[in-house]
Amino acid sequence: MEFRHLGRSGLKISAITYGNWLTHGSQVENDIATACVRQALDEGITSFDTADVYANTAAETVLGEALKGERRESLEIFTKVYFPTGPGGPNDSGLSRKHIVESIEGSLRRLQTDHVDLYQAHRYDVHTPLEETMSAFADVVHSGKAQYIGVSEWTADQIREAAALAKELRIPLVSSQPQYSMLWRVIEDEVVPACEELGLGQIVWSPIAQGVLTGKYKPGQDYPEGSRATDTKGGADMVSRWLKDETLTAVQKLAPLADQAGLTMAQLAVAWVLQNPNVSAALIGASRPEQVTDNVKAAGVTLEDDLMAAIDEALGDVVTRDPAVVARSTPEKRPGD
């Protein structure tokens, strides 16, 4: 396993980080989820990412149980706050002081730990003053309940404002967690340069584009049985944007390039995001332990410049690059309002 500093902080995390969005507590049974976590540990993964909203808190509980008995100092545990949990009352979402202070307590209880290594704002809250949010995060850090602070799907301007307040409050804002893949490059023009300037590293999610970059979805063919595209619990909605024939046809052109590199298509996709020097880690999920074993082989891989250029040529116009897309990740209303 390769280990990288999270931004300019002193914290090192595994370049392949295990995330349990869309799997633990919902898509896979708890015993399989635990087996995936154990496999991640066996493969050298030390960093684990979750969120209180995943499966309405169940994912945190599953992860806490799966990591029970591990030496806490040998792990880096990340979670997030913003989206609704519980019955969805008026203060059960957002980044108000009340929600942050109450949410960290619930997360720690479910994760069976007295602190998380990284506590992340899952989205930007336009209905709470940023000063209130960052002050609440400062209290969480200064009380020892989180070591570092991060954000997820924030714009470059939002990150700059938060970084200024974090410096004033003497708390380490060290990371951004955006979507990033060969097909989804919206962070490259604005978010990445801002983070490089400010010392934040990227922990990127969906590096395989919801499984599309594995090549298992073929243009004009039925979706594989049991795949995310056939999941009626929400997985199909998440992957639908990638299932146009134009995109699937372009993705098939990556197969010979992966063969050339001696990688599976999934490994190629994960290795690709790790070529960006601002990326500290790629998040992988799994519904089977063998998927973990396959994906971790992307750690430490260097893709040559001519291969990177060939990937760009193969994908052509199906890549989404517009940086304005990031701003649309900021909810106009709090969930539940």
Helix axes 289-296, 30-42, angle to 10 degrees: 30
Whether residue 7 contacts residue 200, with contact meaning beta carbons closer than 8 Å, is answered with yes
User: Per the domain annotation, does 284 fall within a domain?
Assistant: yes
**Spatial separation of the C-alpha atoms in residues 329 and 102, rounded to whole Å:** 24
Tell whether pTM > 0.85: yes
Q: Is 256 among the domain residues?
A: no
Instruction: Compute the distance between CA of residue 236 and CA of residue 50 in angstroms, rounded to an integer.
Output: 21
Closest Cα to residue 21, out of 57, 50, 61? Answer: 50
**Which amino acid, residue 131?**
E
3-state secondary structure 230-286: HCCCCHHHHHHHHCCHHHHHHHHCCHHHHHHHCCCHHHHHHHHHHCCCCEEEEEECC
239, 211 contact by CB (below 8 A):
yes
The three-point CA angle 67-115-11 to 5° equals: 85
Looking at residue 169, its pLDDT comes to: 97
User: Both ends of the chain: CA-CA distance in Å?
Assistant: 43
Catalytic residue numbers read 54
C-beta of residue 240 within 8 angstroms of C-beta of residue 210 = no
Q: Are 304 and 257 in contact (CB under 8 A)?
A: no
Would you say 265 and 258 are in contact if contact means Cβ atoms under 8 Å apart? yes
Judge whether 37 lies within some domain. Answer: yes
Q: Report which secondary-structure segment, H or E, holds 47.
A: strand 47-49
As a whole number of angstroms, the distance between CA 255 and CA 267 comes to 11
pLDDT at residue 25, as a whole number? 47
Kindly give the pairing relationship between strand 173-176 and strand 279-284. Answer: unpaired
Q: Is position 238 within any domain?
A: no
Residue 312 domain-assigned? no
Token pair listed for 192? 């990445």
Inside any domain, residue 173: yes
CB atoms within 10 A of CB 313: 11
pLDDT recorded at residue 270? 97
pLDDT score, position 144? 97
Per-residue pLDDT of the chain (337 residues), as tens digits, is 999 999 999 999 999 999 987 665 455 677 888 899 999 999 999 999 999 998 889 899 999 999 999 999 999 999 999 999 888 788 999 999 999 999 999 999 999 999 999 999 999 999 999 999 999 999 999 999 999 999 999 999 999 999 999 999 999 999 999 999 999 999 999 999 999 999 999 999 999 998 899 988 788 776 677 666 556 565 656 677 778 889 999 999 999 999 999 999 999 999 999 999 999 999 998 888 999 999 999 999 999 999 999 999 999 999 999 999 999 889 887 776 6
Residue span of the structural domain in which 277 resides: 3-215+267-304+321-327
Q: Is residue 249 part of a domain?
A: no
Q: Is residue 172 part of a domain?
A: yes
- CATH assignment at residue 137: 3.20.20.100
Q: Which helix (H) or strand (E) holds 195?
A: helix 191-198
Q: What is the pLDDT of residue 22?
A: 65
Nearest-angstrom CA–CA distance, 243 and 114: 42
Count of structural domains, the chain: 1
